Structure formats: C-alpha cells, structure tokens
Amino acid sequence: MMNLQKKKLYTLLALVALFVILFICNMLLSPYHMRIINLVGINIALVVSLNLTNGFCGVFSLGHAGFMAVGAYVAAILSLPLVKKAIILPELPKWLGSVELSFLPSLIIGGLVAAICALIIGYPVLRLRGHYLAVATLGFLVVIQVVITQLQDFTRGARGINGLTQYTNTWWVWIFTCITIYVVWRIINSAYGRGMMAIREDDLAAEAMGVNLTKYRLLAFCVGAFFAGIGGALWAHLITVVTPLSFSYDRTFSLVVMSVIGGMSSITGGVVGASLMTLVPELLRNLEVGITVGGISIPPLYGISQIVLSVVLIIVIIVRPKGIVGSREFSWNLFKKKKWNTMNQMEN
Amino acid sequence: MKKLLVLLFSLVLGIALTGCGGSQEKEQPKQAGESGGDVIKIGAIYNVTGAQASLDGPSLNGFKLAAKEINAAGGVNGKKIEVVSIDGKTDQTSSTNAASKLVDVEKVSAIAGFSDSNYALAAGPIAQTAGVPFITSGATLPSMPEQVGDFFFMAAFGDDAQAYAAADYAVDALQAKKAYVLKDTAMDFTMNLAAFFEERFKSKNGDSAILLEDTFKTGDQDFSAQITRLKALKEKPDVLFISSGPSDCGPIVKQLRDAGVNIPVVSGDGFDTPLLIELGGKGAEVDTYFATHTCLNSDGEKVKKFVDDYKAEYNKEPENAFAALGYDTMHLIADAIKRADSADPKAIREALLQTNNFAAVTGSITYADGKRVPKKSVSILKVQDGKFSLIKEVTP
C-alpha cells in the first residue's frame, strides 16, 4: 500500500503530464486530430456522468441526450453574439434578446437549467423502477425534442441555431473532463456515494438502513444532468450548430453503449468506453476507402465500419458481460502488485 | 480472457491501420508517376448509410460518375480529378469530423455533399473557416448560404423557388382562385414549402385565398379526418397544395381520390419519388402535379445522356433527381476549376461565383448578383400512364 500523499503526488504529476501532452498535441497535430481528441474528452465527461446515475445509483436513465439538448440550447442562446442574435432569433423576448454572455457563465447556466429539468421530472419519475424508469426518461427525451421543435421563437425549430462561435477548445474540454471525473469520484467515495451504491444493490435494504431513496436518486440524477448539460453545450460550441436532431435516440444509445462497453459502475470504465468508442469508429473509417491489391480493386465498402464495430461489441459483451473494466477502478496500487494493462488514467 | 480481448482489439486496430496503409500505397505511385500536383482532390461527404441513404447514395453515384467522365475526357486543365469520399453516417458529429478530415488532412480543393440542411449546416462552417468552397448538391433551405458564409454554394434551387413555381402553375395553368393546404409539421422542408406557397398564392389571389390549412405528421397512415374537414368546406377549393415528404405523398393522394376528391393536387420535390406511383396507384393519375429539379423521362439531350451513362455504370436507372444533382455538382466544380485555371480553393470560389448559364442536367445554373442560391429552372411534372412526364420548365 502506498501512502495517501504519494498517491496524490502521482495523480498531480499525471495531470501535469496529461496537459503537457495535450499542449504538445495542440501545437503539432492538425485541427482534425484535435477535433477527435476534444470529442474524446467530451464523451468521457458525458459517460462518466451517465455512470453516476446508471451505474452507481442504478437509476437506468435514457434521457442523457435530453439534458445535453437543454444545456446546448440554453448555452447557445445565451452566448450567441448580439449581432447574429438579432438576425437568427428576432422573436426572442427583449430580456433574452439583449443578453450576450461569455462562454463560462453560458456553460454553467446551461448545466444548471439541465439540472433543474432533472429535478422537475426526477421527482415524479424516480419513484419508478427498472424498465419503467428507463421508458419514462426516454419519454422525457421525446418531450424535449418536441418542445425544441415547436418553440420556434427561441430555438428556430427544426432549422436549428447555427453560427455559434467555436469557443470549445482543448482546454475547455479537458479541464471540464477532469472536473467531472473529480466530482464523480468524490461523490462515490462519500457517504452519499455509498448510499447510492446501496440503493443499486438493494433499495429495500438501503431504505431499512436509513438511506433516503428519493433524495439520493434525485442527487445522482441531477448531478448527471448538470454535467450532461455542460457536455451538450461544449459539443454545440464545437460543432457550431444545434438542431433538434442533434440530440436524438441515437446519441442517448451511443452514450449508453459507451458506458456498458467500458463498465457501467466504474469511472475508469466510463473513460475506457468513451475513448474506445470515439476513436475506433474514426480509425475504422480507413476501412471504407477502396483498396487496390495486386490488380484487384475493392470498391469502398460504406457501412463496414459500423458492422465491424457491432461485431466487436457483441463479442465484448459475450466475453465480458460487465464491460471491459467491469466494476474495478484504476488505482496507483496496481503498479505495485503487477503490471496491469493501464488504459493510462490518472485518477485515484 | 484478458488476452483474448487484447488480441481482439489489436486485430481491429490492425485491420484499420492496414486500410490506412493501403490508401497511402494507392496514393504514392500516383505522386511518383505523375510528379505530385497533377491530381485535383475534390471531397465528397454523403450520408451513404443511415436514414439519408436513399437520397445521398444516388447523389454520390452521380458525383463519381461525373468525375469518371471528366477524367476519361482528359481531366480538367490536364489534371485528373480524384474524389475523396467519406461517409457522413447521417450523424452531425461524423459529418463534421469528415469535413475536418477533408480540409485538414486530405487538403481538398472543394467539397460537395448532402441532401439535407441539418448536415450541410454542420459541415459547411468548417469549410468556410478553412476557405474551401462547399457546394451542397441537394439541400434546398434557401437561407443556408447566408447562414454559413461566402464559401457556401447550393447546386439545387431553394424551397422558395419550387414553391413559387408550383403556386404560379396553380394560378396560371390551373386557373385556381382558392387553395387548400395540407402540410407535414414534422419536417422543416414541408413547413417552409407550405409557407412560401401561401405567400405567393395570397399575393396573386388575395389574403383570403387559402380556405383551410390542415396538418399531419410524417408517418401518419390515416388521413380521413383531414379529408372530412376538406369536404366540409363551404367553398370548394380549386387546388390542393400537399406539402409532404416522399414517404407520405402516395397514401395521401390515394386516400383523397378514393374519397372522391378529384381537385388537382400540386406539390414540390417531396413528390419526386417512385413511391408516388407505387402507393398512389390510380389516384395519382388524376391531376397530380409537382415542381422538381428535372424530369428523368424527358427527351432532353443532357438528361438522356445522363440516364444512359448512369445505367451503363451502375446497371440501374437513376433512382431520383438527387443522382442528377450529384452529377451536376461535380461538373459545376470542374467547370469552375477550368475557368479559374487553378486548383486553389479561393480561385475556385471566385470562378463558381461567376457561373453563368451553366448547362446542367437539372436545368441551367446561374449565380446572379453574388447570390449563392442558383437561379435555376424548375420542372413541373405530371403523373401519366404510370410515369412522370414533363409539363413545362419555368424559371421563376
């Protein structure tokens, strides 16, 4: 066992190393590669926050994309430059039409509004369990989509808000990712976290031990929604356009897949799942170019990347039903015992 | 277990990297044999998988066909065109990644793609920031070039043009004084189309010319409620404007005609699909007109050549007008490169802007007064004997 101070030092060093590497990448790599690195960061934050609700607290939510949508739209409306706002959203109420916030407050307000939405729908919905809860949160996603499509004055409906300033860069993304991981890690290692895990294992027993079910579930749900909101806002300011279609079932399910593949009740699992599921599809794109081998030309096989990915996912789930990492966590102790194939994470 | 997993992932990554290596090998001999810059790279992002595939697949086929023809005829200014095509996967993140890869890694001279504004609006700004022209072959939201910037062009006409053409046809040829409008509220395209039609129709026949505006949603099966409301109107409309997408037009027309409503139906390019005849049946034969990009059955020389070439290359008829739009977009870019006499993106943009009466399969293209929505002819089609036939071509 290492002592606590040594671990803290290692963690700090790893963090410094991460940002030095990012800094070097930022100088050397093309904008395309940096875009992928930023997407990895955003997805890590989204999946880790999803793991807090789905994995640690056992509240299986399919509404994550809905919270992303709320955060993204709120931040987009707040941060849009006034000149553009007058053209794109002329019907906004005056108090909103004359506001232009900088990026940080927009992000935080976006996250807060998402958390408030989670509070409002969470209170009635979190009494449900299992499948019922999953379907109810999916219902929330549908409601959000309809509201965004119909609220023309605020969101421009299906046309979407475009021309957002591309504020999102490596630093915003990765600082946010580290904060998300730190907060989730602190929560699960606190009395609240233990309570959440108790609820996941057996809610009756947990209640008998004095754990307030609704309160703990709401906390996990709202914290997850807060980070989803900020993640959505960061995504929006990376892509520079938000449409209702940006936050569809596809996105919710791709996040759930990332979470399941990595390991639902583990922060490390979230990091591993999100990184793999963002990087591998981009790498697999190279399969889709036509190749000429020895005079035989193979035409581009579009869709092959999705097929390969699906097959790999099926195999992973058969071989490791609890995800790649399972419910284990990365720890510096791993280096002492034996060389564990680190997926190089610096937490804990 | 762990070993198996590591093996598995190394296998996948291995395959991916081999693919990467393969593509590099493919490029190397070209550069060696033709001494570098003799190839002009043109990017293409189409959603060939996912919900958009039925529109984007034919577009990409048309686009590649045109590139092949240009190369067979000696290329542009002595240089060959190389199409670098990436799948957008009907996903905004994938589409922007693809655009970024084309601009930053492949260093293409121009990008073409998409038949839907959701994706064109996401990918366009990346090309705009990098100063690379982006030409959307099939997306028709007329405000897009303004929204994205001065490097964004449309190859198809805007929704306003086709709706105006439909309204003009209803008023002038069908002598309509009063209209009924049915629109799909689930799609931006159908909402815009209906709004533009009403604007034009009212300006010609007065503010009370629209008797009723009814709605439905993509995927509705039963339109009897709407038809009942239509029949209950005190004053009978002279024309029905049905603003629907490809999947609903057949059932709507069939149910209207089955219910004994034989008032002429007019619509936009959402009707330009074989589904109209397959699902509409005999009902579609009764006075059904729509405005679209081109008529692939017409006797025009350009259209005939395109259809024959497409058949020879892919062993099938062009699926819809989007195939022709993809084909036109490649020729439009090649024409601009030829006039610019350069593969420099900025020079190509300048040349594109000067495009004047460029003869394309889908009508002649002119970017007038610095506008990047083309002034382009609209074809009015009618269903006749189980086929679409051209009524007339109009330039609004």
Q: Say what the ipTM of the complex is.
A: 0.82
Closest CB to A32 among B9, B100, B191: B100
Q: How confident is the model at residue B219 (pLDDT cuts 50, 70, 90)?
A: confident
The whole-angstrom distance between B65's CA and the closest CA on chain A is: 14
* Selected residue of A29, A159, A261, A338 to mutate for chain B interface (largest B Cβ count, 10 A): A159
The whole-angstrom distance between A93's CA and the closest CA on chain B is: 22
Q: How confident is the model at residue A292 (pLDDT cuts 50, 70, 90)?
A: low
Q: Does any CB of chain A come closer than 8 Å to the CB of residue B108?
A: no
Give me the pLDDT at residue B42, please: 96
Give me the pLDDT at residue B274, please: 80
Give me the pLDDT at residue B31, please: 36
Give me the pLDDT at residue B367, please: 93
The whole-angstrom distance between A284's CA and the closest CA on chain B is: 5
* Selected residue of B47, B52, B93, B191 to mutate for chain A interface (largest A Cβ count, 10 A): B93
Q: pLDDT tens across B119-140, in order?
A: 999 999 999 999 999 999 999 8
Closest CB to A306 among B2, B49, B188: B49
| pLDDT at B17 > cutoff 50 | no
Among A181, A143, A208, smallest CA distance to A272 is for: A181
Contacts of A281 in chain B (CB under 8 A): 94
Give me the pLDDT at residue B26, please: 39
Q: How confident is the model at residue A168 (pLDDT cuts 50, 70, 90)?
A: very high
Cβ–Cβ pairs < 8 A, chains A and B: 122
Q: Does any CB of chain A come closer than 8 Å to the CB of residue B26?
A: yes
| Percent with pLDDT over 70 in chain A | 93
Q: pLDDT tens across B177-200, in order?
A: 999 999 988 777 888 899 999 999
Q: Fold match between B37-157+300-376 and B160-292?
A: yes
Contacts of A241 in chain B (CB under 8 A): 92, 121-122, 125
Q: How confident is the model at residue B283 (pLDDT cuts 50, 70, 90)?
A: confident
Compute the distance between CA of residue A29 and CA of residue B169 in angstroms, rounded to an integer: 55
Chain A residue nearest residue B129, CA to CA: A166
Give me the pLDDT at residue A339, please: 45
Q: Does any CB of chain A come closer than 8 Å to the CB of residue B2?
A: yes
Burial group, residue B301, by CB count within 10 angstroms (0-12, 13-18, 19+): exposed
Q: What is the rounded average pLDDT of the residues B279-292?
A: 89
Q: pLDDT tens across B303-358, in order?
A: 999 999 999 999 999 988 899 999 999 999 999 999 999 999 999 999 999 999 99
Contacts of B152 in chain A (CB under 8 A): none
pTM, to two decimals: 0.82
Q: What is the rounded average pLDDT of the residues A309-330?
A: 88
Compute the distance between CA of residue A164 and CA of residue A99 in angstroms, rounded to an integer: 15
Q: Read off the DSSP letter of residue A92.
A: S
Q: How confident is the model at residue A305 (pLDDT cuts 50, 70, 90)?
A: confident
| pLDDT at A112 > cutoff 50 | yes
Contacts of A149 in chain B (CB under 8 A): 186
| pLDDT at A337 > cutoff 50 | yes
Give me the pLDDT at residue B395, please: 80
Q: How confident is the model at residue A344 (pLDDT cuts 50, 70, 90)?
A: very low
| Percent with pLDDT over 70 in chain B | 91
Residues A137 and A63: beta-carbon distance below 8 Å? yes
The structural domains of chain A, with segments of one domain joined by +, span 7-26+33-248
Q: pLDDT tens across B45-73, in order?
A: 999 988 888 889 999 999 999 999 999 99
For chain B, the average pLDDT equals 87
Fold of B160-292: Rossmann fold (3.40.50)
Region label for A243, one of left (φ > 0), alpha (ψ between -120 and 50) or beta (otherwise): beta
For B37-157+300-376, which CATH class?
A: alpha beta
Contacts of A88 in chain B (CB under 8 A): 147
Q: What is the rounded average pLDDT of the residues A65-79?
A: 96
Scored b (16 or more CB within 10 A) or e, B333-365 reads bbbbbebbebbebebbbebbbebeebebbbbbb
Compute the distance between CA of residue A173 and CA of residue A40 in angstroms, rounded to an integer: 9
The whole-angstrom distance between A185's CA and the closest CA on chain B is: 26
Q: What is the rounded average pLDDT of the residues A222-251?
A: 93
| Percent with pLDDT over 90 in chain A | 57
The whole-angstrom distance between A221's CA and the closest CA on chain B is: 26
Say which residues have a Cβ less than 8 Å from residue A270's Cβ, sequence separation at least 6: A44, A47, A48, A50, A51, A55, A258, A259, A262, A263
The whole-angstrom distance between B92's CA and the closest CA on chain A is: 7
Q: State in Å, rounded, how far the first CA of chain A is from the last one.
A: 13
Q: Which residue has the tokens 């990346």?
A: B126
Q: What is the rounded average pLDDT of the residues A153-174?
A: 88
Q: pLDDT tens across B152-183, in order?
A: 999 999 999 999 999 999 999 999 999 999 99
HEC profile of chain B = CHHHHHHHHHHHHHHHHHHHHHHHHHHHHHHHHCCCCCEEEEEEEECCCCCCHHHHHHHHHHHHHHHHHHHHCCCECCEEEEEEEEECCCCHHHHHHHHHHHHHHCCCCEEEECCCHHHHHHHHHHHHHHCCCEEECCCCCCCHHHHHCCCEEECCCCHHHHHHHHHHHHHHCCCCCCEEEEEECCCHHHHHHHHHHHHHHHHHHCHHHEEEEEEECCCCCCCHHHHHHHHCCCCCCCEEEEECCCCCHHHHHHHHHHCCCCCCEEECHHHCCHHHHHHHHHHHHCCEEEEECCCCCCCCHHHHHHHHHHHHHHCCCCCCHHHHHHHHHHHHHHHHHHHHCCCCHHHHHHHHHCCCCEEECCEEEECHHHCCCCEECEEEEEEECCEEEEEEEECC
The structural domains of chain B, with segments of one domain joined by +, span 37-157+300-376, 160-292
Q: What is the rounded average pLDDT of the residues A193-222?
A: 92
| pLDDT at B36 > cutoff 60 | no
Contacts of B101 in chain A (CB under 8 A): 32, 285
Give me the pLDDT at residue B110, please: 96
Q: How confident is the model at residue B18 (pLDDT cuts 50, 70, 90)?
A: very low
For residues B395 and B240, the model is more confident at: B240
